[in-house]
Chain A
Amino acid sequence: MLKKYFMFFILIAVSFVLAVALKPVFHKKNSRLYWFIPDGMRADPGIFNVFQWADEGLLPNIKKMMSRGTYGFCKPVYPGHTPVNFATLFTGSYPEVHKVSDGPMHEEGKPLSSVAVGGFSSVAKKVDPIWLTLENGGARVGLLSIPGSTPPELKNGYTMVGRWGGWGASFHAVNFEEKGSGERQFNLGSSKRLFFFGPPLLIFAESSETEDYPGELKTFSAVRRAGLSAWGATVSGCIYDSTDDGTVNYDRMAFSTDGKTVSVDLKQGQWSEWLPIKLLWHDKKTDTSAEIDTVFKIKVTKLDGKGFFAVRFYYNAMNETLTDPGYIASDMIENVGPMVDFVDNFPPQLIYYPEDRNTFLEEADMSFDWHTRACSYFIDTYRPDVFIHDIYTPNQMLTSRWWMGYIDPDSPFYNEVGDKERDRLWAEVKDMYRKLDRIIGVYLKKARKNDVVVLSSDHGAAPLHTWVHVNNLFASKGWLKCRQDRESGEYIIDWEKSKAVYLKFGHVYVNPAGLHNSEGRWERGSGPEYIRFREEVAESVRNLRDSRNAAPLAKICSWEDAEKEFRLPHERSGDLLISNVPGYGWSETMTPDRILFSRPLKTGYKQAIICENSPCMWTPFIIVGPDIKQDNFLKDDLLSMTDQYPTIMKALGRECPGFVQGKVIRKAFLKEDN
């Protein structure tokens, strides 16, 4: 009997030892990787010299990374857009290999009227991203807010809120404002909607006097009530006058989620706490829906004495449909709080009223607070071998209306503010960098001796002073046939009769026989007439001059040279590829007056700029690890985005897959020859 128990004990012991011994070993040195990649974190040797700021004491954790590691400035690949450069960072290859040539991508045989492949989707990449390669090597990987990470690809890791992969129920923040005359609604056209034509980001609501309002409101003027409806939920907003001064001067707005009791009562400038709400996640195509229980915050951005209001609803950005596995969402929300992923929307909404600026800064702070807590909690709780983390807020700030145009002397708007105001704007921008530094502090604190910590970004940001309305040019030449819908203001293109169109961010599609065939699909043109017409279109773009007689075009080539000139995949490129000089931005937007140039409301931009000679587009790269040289500034080398992947893999002691085009930054290592 004892012998039997002994044998059983031996079996259990052997199984345990085998289980431990055979667990896939991530790395011989057992190094973990913490890779923080803030979106749009500009760093250059000029006015955004983050390494100098760190030396001056502004960024103590970046300073620690510099002292403990190797660092330098890095140039993004073309176009300097998020999905392209994230794909490059995660594959160590150029777009010609990973095939993410842009955000919206078009392919031959598909209609140009819709996007064939979305660059933010994980399936857009044609080669494996680093998270899969490392997971296949035994690593437990966590991804937070990483563009291109959803639909999830990790099989044994944690994918949390991959930005814009079309996966899960995302409820973007919505602004509401008093409808008024409707003039503003007409002028805004489609830019009041998410991604222009999605669910509205700005909803005009009509208020009217009412006797029906919660009894606890003490008002000295007639209450005005407006129904604020978004994502299938209606919140009642009651504008009232709390001052007994004999005049109508509205000063408070009470909100009710059940229409009877006051959920929160706010004055201008105040935020509510998180409030419960049930939202509807609805698929129009199949008319199916699911209710999502979540929470939201209300900010009264503007409320004037006459009752004009502008309010913002910010919805928790995390729920179980946005994480894999789903239970991570409830765990993170319970222990970190509802998610404020990033500030503002696309297109930006916090750019219209001066009060929007404060809302922007407050929301940005909330996003930094959330991300700081989130990375700390996640690492402590889930102990990933690899954690890759992005926050989109820096991009939002540097491309918003309020900052870049007035702090970068390359902007023609630079002198529109005085030095005192500029100092204040710089203080706000540097405060944003301080908050990034605080997140880096979390990683440094969590990292053990052999761990690898990396700071990167996908692109910088340039001042923007002029939109170039390429499609207005083509329409005025008769190459783009369209009409404007009177009600919606949207342009309806006659694709079969059109011969040239510009589509974001750097592509012109040309076909003298019509952009769509009889089946409604785009076919690449060929033959002498195609070549002649393509050259005519190219010449028209080359000849563009603004009021200062400056040309917005930096470089143009035809699709046959896409790989050679831009390292872009020709099969996901337009007939002509066009890049712009910093300061300009190509715009698809068409206007009835066919103007070619206009002043944007936002003052920062990054997309179709060639980065090599544009320091405003550069980013930081700092790597800290066991074999990495310390206090090693590669000041004479402009690093390449493709080289980060192989350098990180070498620091982890891992081999690179065959598709990787980048080279190890050998100067970063203590033994350069290894």
Chain B
Amino acid sequence: MKPRSLLLLFFLAGCSGHPGGLESRLLSDYRLTDHRKKGISSTYIYEKPEGKIFIERLACADRASMEKTVREDMLTVKMLYSDTLSPYPGYISYRITADKSVLPEYREKGAGDTYYRYFLLYSNDRLSLGITSMDAASHRYLHGWITRSGNNILYRVKIFEPLDTGSREIEEIFFSLVCRD
């Protein structure tokens, strides 16, 4: 590792801390590589050699706008895999159809006053949504939202792990994130 990178890590570790009000025993496996704040959003990026976690903390105006954000986010994911129309299509073939193997799998779970909603997916090597076949898959990908009753803080979480990571393993990382807000 270059000296400059080491200094950067030192600086980030010293200044950024944990991601807002989220804590996780498993985050110690990762190093915090970036923290940035834009408007109501604070984003924390954690990395380890074969994985990456993006945690975005959104301080929403109220409960309704928080739920609206979650609903729109979820629809964005669903629509990407929903036999979308092909631009400049032919007269005969016009819908983009994704393989069943890469379709998003929605799950949710409550734990105390914390609510976990998420899709299990696959991403390409550029950590993007929307691949239509396993040939393009490079990572196991969990795209989720964590909310807690009683406040308007929304955590948008994206977890990227090696392709052979099982659902339970990636879910374990997600569920290890506990709200302290």
Contact = CB atoms under 8 A, between A and B. Distances in A.
Contacts of A110: 97, 99, 133
B96 A166 contact: yes
Contacts of A165: 130
A518 interface: no
Interface stretch (B21-29, B71-79, B108-116): B71-79
Given A19-B11, A283-B79, A132 B85 contact: no
Interface in A440-480: 471
B75 A156 contact: no
B107 interface: no
A22 B95 contact: no
Contacts of B54: 155
A501 B130 contact: no
Contacts of A288: 74-75, 78
A216 B91 CA distance: 46
B150 interface: no
A167 B45 CA distance: 23
Nearest to A25: B4
B68 to A, nearest CB: 7
Interface residues of B, number: 52
A120 interface: yes
Given A15-B14, A123-B124, A164 B87 contact: yes
Contacts, number: 180
Interface stretch (B36-44, B161-169, B170-178): B36-44
Interface in A159-177: 163-169
B92 A503 contact: yes
Contacts of A601: none
A641 B34 CA distance: 36
Contacts of A346: 87-88
Interface in A278-319: 281, 283-286, 288-290, 292
Which of A113, A123, A503 has the most CB atoms of chain B within a 10 A radius of its CB? A123
A249 to B, nearest CB: 41
Nearest to A589: B91
Interface band, chain A: 35 or more
A281 B93 CA distance: 24
B120 interface: no
A350 B95 CA distance: 24
Contacts of A289: 75
Contacts of A104: 86, 88-90, 93-94, 96
Interface in A11-55: 15, 18-19, 22
Contact of B72 (A122, A321, A493): A321
18 contacts: A15-B14, A18-B11, A118-B132, A121-B130, A122-B128, A156-B34, A166-B84, A195-B85, A195-B86, A196-B94, A283-B78, A283-B82, A285-B83, A327-B41, A346-B88, A491-B92, A493-B92, A590-B91
Interface of B: 4, 7-8, 10-11, 14-15, 34, 36, 38-41, 45, 54, 68-69, 71-72, 74-76, 78-80, 82-97, 99, 124, 126-133, 136
Given A121-B96, A321-B76, A501-B92, 18 more contacts: A15-B14, A104-B86, A114-B93, A115-B94, A123-B128, A123-B131, A155-B45, A166-B96, A167-B80, A167-B129, A195-B86, A195-B88, A197-B95, A290-B68, A290-B71, A320-B72, A471-B92, A588-B90
